[in-house]
């Protein structure tokens, strides 16, 4: 039988026997059919890409779209996404995507991330002070992993302490599985209003932040600016929250890995890159075919959804030697955790810098940091776009 004659996968694998490894089925799927037919929760039939090479091909293919309204989610999702609102450029294709992203790009370069280091250091120490003051044991997610990246990205966008605190409060129900839908809707509505209030405040009194710069440039309406701010704030913290939490969970289980981050100063960038590859917090990226096309020897019809498993692609032995081994000195580690192509994560340098600073600082402050519950009791976010842990009780 050819791949196209094979019955489609019933669903995308999400169950993991080890919290730090991709779902077990992916190794066999990738070896047998690196691009496989798959049934989506809404009944659509599309494709699942699990190889590194094909993932890169899909992510740069000119006839593959990131538009929200064309995509299907490979895990149960409460709503069908409509067209992206003005300013929400993550769900757009060029040239609309380019119009929004280009003015932002200069604020998120590697050079700018290095310039933000003193700010990140200060915020990290503040969060560690609060964690220590809370006393042992404490939830690392609530008291360190979440506030640190939220405060960093809010500072860069231009939020003051009050905006930052309210945004953090509003994100808790949205990021917590099982929250009643009416609470989520209320948080989303209030967050939208908060962004408009922030835009109005920056118009009245601009500063040196990202939002003020966009306002001064005069290219965007207030609705666009509010949505840009919302998108940057959301994307600028969620994955980093779970990288801090899941990364700490991993290090607390493996002393030999902890040594790469338990350093006097910043962690080496190669160790952070390996952590990003190994854990692949963004489990998958969704796309859709704009026209009939061929990828990996398979004919994909116009309109069919495509899901790229980043967790599987980042463990592809055809790209990475000994892919299931954590190697902090891994050479040429061109992982796909931040995506690839024109939609590659805008904040990749910032997130990496936060991890390089934050993880060593955490381990220095609490040299006896330990997990306070049995590792098997740590609950993970399995069937969600962003993988991680719900909470991480730690003591010191």
Domain coordinates in residue numbering, the chain: 3-146+237-395
β pairing state of 45-49 and 305-309: parallel
Helix extents (H) in 106-146:
110-115, 117-134, 140
DSSP string, 214-248: HHHHT-S-HHHHHHHHHHHHHHTTHHHHHHHHHHH
Mean pLDDT, all residues of the chain: 95
The answer, yes or no, to whether residue 34 has pLDDT greater than 50, is yes
Burial of residue 265, with CB atoms counted within 10 A of its CB: 0-12 exposed, 13-18 middle, 19 or more buried = exposed
Average pLDDT over residues 2-12: 74
Q: What is the pLDDT of residues 225-281, one digit of tens each?
A: 999 999 999 988 999 999 999 999 999 999 999 999 999 999 999 999 999 999 999
The answer, yes or no, to whether residue 2 has pLDDT greater than 60, is no
Q: What is the pLDDT of residues 84-96, one digit of tens each?
A: 999 999 999 999 9
Q: What is the pLDDT of residues 106-118, one digit of tens each?
A: 999 999 999 999 9
Order of all β-strands in the sheet with 305-309: 35-39, 45-49, 305-309, 284-289, 64-65
**Residues facing 256 on adjacent strands:** none
**What pLDDT shows up at residue 30?**
96
Determine the Cα angle at 17 with ends 317 and 351, to 5°: 65
CB 316 within 8 A of CB 58: no
- Integer CA distances (angstroms), 236 to 86, 296, 305, in order: 19, 33, 26
Average pLDDT over residues 356-384: 96
Helix H or strand E segment including 217: helix 210-217
- Integer CA distances (angstroms), 234 to 96, 191, 376, in order: 20, 10, 29
CB 225 within 8 A of CB 211: yes
With H, G, I as helix, E, B as strand and everything else as coil, classify residue 376: helix
Q: Which residues contact 342 (CB under 8 A, 6 or more apart)?
A: 60, 94, 97, 98, 101
CB 141 within 8 A of CB 362: no
Q: How many CB atoms sit inside 10 A of residue 177's CB? A: 10
CB 261 within 8 A of CB 363: yes
Structure tokens belonging to residue 259? 């040594």
How far apart are the C-alpha atoms of 309 and 47, rounded to whole Å? 11
Structure tokens belonging to residue 70? 């064309």
The CATH number that domain 3-146+237-395 falls under is 1.10.630.10
The band of 3, judged by pLDDT with boundaries at 50, 70 and 90, is: very low
Lowest mean pLDDT across 3-12, 71-80, 254-263: 3-12
**What pLDDT shows up at residue 179?**
85
Burial of residue 205, with CB atoms counted within 10 A of its CB: 0-12 exposed, 13-18 middle, 19 or more buried = exposed
CB 34 within 8 A of CB 4: no
How far apart are the C-alpha atoms of 318 and 80, rounded to whole Å? 35
CB 281 within 8 A of CB 387: yes
Average pLDDT over residues 294-301: 97
DSSP code of 344? S
The answer, yes or no, to whether residue 1 has pLDDT greater than 50, is no
What's CA 135's distance to the chain center, in Å?
Answer: 29
**What pLDDT shows up at residue 178?**
78
Residue reference for tokens 């908060």: 194
């Amino acid at each position: 039988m050819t791949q196209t004659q094979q019955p489609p996968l019933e669903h995308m694998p999400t169950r993991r026997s080890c919290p730090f490894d991709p779902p077990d089925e992916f190794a066999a799927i990738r070896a047998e059919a690196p691009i496989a037919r798959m049934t989506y929760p809404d009944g659509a039939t599309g494709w699942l890409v699990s190889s590194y090479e094909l993932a890169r091909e899909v992510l740069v293919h000119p006839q593959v779209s990131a538009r929200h309204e064309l995509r299907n989610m490979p895990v149960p999702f409460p709503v069908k996404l409509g067209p992206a609102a003005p300013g929400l450029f993550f769900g757009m294709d060029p040239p609309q995507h380019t119009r929004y992203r280009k003015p932002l790009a200069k604020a998120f370069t590697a050079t700018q991330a290095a310039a933000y280091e003193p700010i990140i250091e200060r915020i990290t120490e503040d969060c560690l002070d609060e964690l220590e003051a809370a006393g042992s044991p404490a939830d690392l997610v609530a008291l360190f992993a979440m506030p640190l990246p939220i405060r960093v990205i809010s500072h860069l966008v231009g939020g003051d302490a009050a905006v930052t605190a309210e945004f953090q409060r509003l994100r808790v129900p949205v990021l917590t599985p099982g929250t009643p839908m009416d609470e989520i809707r209320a948080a989303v509505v209030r967050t939208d209003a908060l962004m408009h209030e922030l835009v109005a405040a920056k118009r009245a009194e601009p500063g040196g932040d990202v939002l003020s710069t966009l306002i001064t440039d005069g290219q965007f309406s207030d609705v666009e600016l509010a949505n840009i701010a919302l998108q940057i704030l959301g994307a600028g913290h969620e994955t980093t929250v779970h990288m801090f939490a899941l990364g700490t969970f991993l290090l607390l289980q493996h002393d030999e890995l902890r040594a790469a981050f338990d350093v006097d100063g910043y962690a080496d960038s190669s160790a952070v890159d390996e952590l990003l590859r190994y854990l692949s917090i963004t489990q998958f990226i969704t796309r859709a075919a704009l026209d009939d096309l061929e990828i990996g020897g398979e004919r994909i019809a116009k309109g069919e959804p495509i899901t790229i498993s980043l967790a599987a692609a980042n463990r592809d032995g055809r790209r990475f030697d000994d892919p299931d081994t954590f190697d902090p000195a891994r050479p040429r580690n061109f992982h796909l955790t931040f995506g690839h192509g024109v939609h590659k994560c805008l904040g990749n340098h910032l997130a990496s810098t936060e991890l390089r600073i934050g993880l060593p600082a955490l381990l220095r402050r609490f040299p006896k940091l330990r997990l306070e519950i049995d590792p098997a009791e740590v609950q993970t976010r399995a069937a969600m776009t962003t993988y991680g842990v719900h909470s991480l009780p730690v003591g010191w």
